[in-house]
Amino acid sequence: MSDSDKVKCACPDCVCRVNPNEAIQRDGRPYCGEACANGHSEGNGCGHKNCGCHG
Ligand SMILES: [Zn+2]
Ligand SMILES: [Zn+2]
Ligand SMILES: [Zn+2]
């Protein structure tokens, strides 16, 4: 699996890239984790290194 096979998390502020097969699908878009998929409704970041997204 090369990096080009990954897709960017659909969260606008998120810099994470995820394997489409492992991404969390929400409304047909891939997210790197529950926090992003939920639109950071609880104000938590995705928790991945070097990523400061909070929605
Ligand atoms: Zn992220
Ligand atoms: Zn994300
Ligand atoms: Zn995010």
Closest by CA position to 31, among listed 5, 4, 7:
7
Ligand 2 centroid – CA 1 distance (Å): 19
Render pLDDT for 1-55 as a digit per residue (tens, 0 to 9).
566 799 999 999 999 999 999 999 999 999 999 999 999 999 999 999 999 998 5
Flag whether 16 is in a domain: yes
**Number of structural domains the chain divides into:** 1
Q: Identify the domain containing residue 17 by its residue range.
A: 3-37
pLDDT for res 55: 59
Ligand 3 centroid – CA 1 distance (Å): 23
Flag whether 31 is in a domain: yes
pLDDT for res 54: 87
Cα separation, 35 vs 41, in Å, equals 8
| Closest ligand (CA of 38) | 3
Q: Which pair of structure tokens corresponds to residue 55?
A: 């929605």
Flag whether 48 is in a domain: no
Flag whether 8 is in a domain: yes
pLDDT for res 1: 53
Ligand 2 centroid – CA 20 distance (Å): 13
| Closest ligand (CA of 13) | 3
| Closest ligand (CA of 49) | 1
Please check whether residue 48 is in contact with residue 31, taking contact to mean a CB–CB distance below 8 angstroms: no
Cα separation, 43 vs 12, in Å, equals 15
> Which residue carries 């969260």 as its tokens?
11
